[in-house]
Amino acid sequence: MVQFNVEGAHFQPCMDSFLGAALGVLNALGEDLSYEELWGLSGMAFRTQVHRELAPAGLFPRQWDETYGAVMQRLGYACSAGLRDHFYTQDDIHYLRRGWMGNLERHLGQGLPAIAYGLHGPAFGIISGFDDETENFRVSTLLDGVKDGPVHVNDLGLTNPPCVFVLIPTGPLHGYDRQAATRAAIAHGLLHHAQQERDEHGQSLAIPPDLATGMDAFEAWGRALNERTVKLSWAPALYAGYYLEARTHGAGFLRKVAQEYFPQHAKHLELAAESCMQQAAKLRELAALFPPQEPHALQDAQKIVAAIGHLQVIAQAHAAAMTALAEAK
């Protein structure tokens, strides 16, 4: 029996489960990133995307192997990533999981933990160990303390809907430049805001009909509330909490890099940070309107009107932040 375990690879509390997993993995590899650096360098602090019914999956970016691979590079690490969201045959997922088992075992033996989707629940978590006798992965997820058991190789990912995703950080990037990574993160946020994202081949990414991005996201968010199409009563609080965390840490990041890297753009970066904090204040009020334990709040007409008013203010502040960031380029 051979067991591989990477100590210290623990999921870190975060409204974005990929970032929580990434921070835990990087901590285990000896990196010391703040939440401001995590949200800012990843570019996730500056994105706005919603599902038109506020389904939680609407917070995930598209093309994970490319998008999250670029996130890890901006955080300073090379990585190997693979995504499969369809299966050719009934046996396809079996061979896929077995292939990843060997890959993960090899990297865990080198002290390299991995990020994967669908370990305990539909979110990202960490694979930090493997037992070749039981074929179980040791994992750490947002359910640590509630669901701590191992995950068998045959349970890696999801079958309905089909999705197997694994990302293995393979080592620090040679010649990594934090200032250049900061520029890339802000540029990513601006492209997302302008609905001009492209894949690694330079092709435009079409926005799926069930998603809304950039300024359209705020309108879709308000419409979902107004037309009572939100399926999960806790989703409005989730969305508000997610973007509250994103904008708060985004503001701190912009103020930090204004001092360290871009004093010539300090005025614009401060304006963007202030606009992020204005959003955060309104997002906190928005979250308070729809406590997860009060599903009837979604039928309260006065709360809906108040929420739409908050979203209009948030949208204006976000537009101002993006304008300031564009002027700081």
What's the pLDDT tens digit per position in 165-220?
Answer: 999 999 999 999 999 999 999 999 999 999 998 877 778 888 999 999 999 999 99
Residues 198 and 158 in one domain: no
pLDDT per residue as tens digits for the range 314-327? 999 999 999 999 99
Nearest CA-CA partner of 195 in 231, 220, 228, 223: 220
pLDDT of residue 2: 59
Judgement on whether residues 183 and 168 belong to the same structural domain of the protein: no
Q: Say what percent of the chain tops pLDDT 70.
A: 99
277 in the same domain as 188:
yes
* Domain assignment present for 45: no
Per the structure, the count of domains in the chain is: 2
Are residues 223 and 166 part of one domain?
no
Last residue in a domain, options 121, 149, 176: 176
Per the structure block, which two tokens stand in for 125?
């978590």
Show contacts of 306-310: CB within 8 Å, 24+ apart: 307/222, 307/225, 307/236, 308/222, 308/225, 308/226, 310/282, 310/283, 310/285, 310/286
pLDDT over 90 percentage in the chain:
83
Q: What is the pLDDT of residue 89?
A: 79
Where residue 142 falls among pLDDT bands split at 50, 70, 90? very high
295 and 235 share a domain? Answer: yes
Confidence of residue 69 (pLDDT cuts 50, 70, 90): very high
CB atoms within 10 A of CB 294: 14
Range(s) of the domain holding residue 95: 3-33+75-176
Residue 46 falls inside a structural domain: no
Residue 322 forms part of a structural domain? yes
CA distance 280 to 313: 11
Do residue 162 and residue 118 come from a single domain? yes
How far is it, in rounded angstroms, from Cα 96 to Cα 191? 33
Q: Which residues contact 118 (CB under 8 A, 6 or more apart)?
A: 156, 157, 158, 163, 164, 165
DSSP β-ladder status, 136-140 and 151-152: antiparallel
Residues 183 and 161 in one domain: no
Q: What are phi and psi of 204, to 5 degrees?
A: -65, 140
Asked if residue 154 belongs to a domain, the reply is yes
Determine how many CB atoms are found less than 10 A away from the CB of residue 162.
14
Last residue of one domain, picked from the residues 124, 154, 176: 176
Q: Is 210 left (phi over 0), alpha (psi -120 to 50) or beta?
A: alpha
Is 54 inside any structural domain?
no
Strands (E), 173-279: 211-213
222: closest CA among 50, 60, 59?
Answer: 50
83-98 confidence digits (pLDDT tens)? 888 887 778 888 888 9
For 298, how many CA atoms within 13 A lie in the half-sphere containing its CB? Answer: 22
Residues 81 and 143 in one domain: yes
Q: Which of 156, 176, 196 is the last residue of a domain?
A: 176
Same domain assignment for residues 202 and 259: yes
For residue 38, is it within any domain? no
Same domain, 162 and 151: yes
Residues 18 and 137 occupy one common structural domain = yes
pLDDT in tens, 291-316: 999 999 999 999 999 999 999 999 99
Q: Would you say 164 and 100 are in contact if contact means Cβ atoms under 8 Å apart?
A: yes
108 and 187 part of one domain: no
Asked whether residue 198 is assigned to any structural domain, the reply reads yes
70 assigned to some structural domain? no
Nearest 5°: phi and psi at 295?
-60, -25
User: What global pTM score does this model have?
Assistant: 0.95
- SS3 (DSSP) at 47: coil
Query: What 3-state class would DSSP assign to 159?
Result: strand
- The C-alpha angle 186, 188, 193, rounded to 5 degrees, equals 95
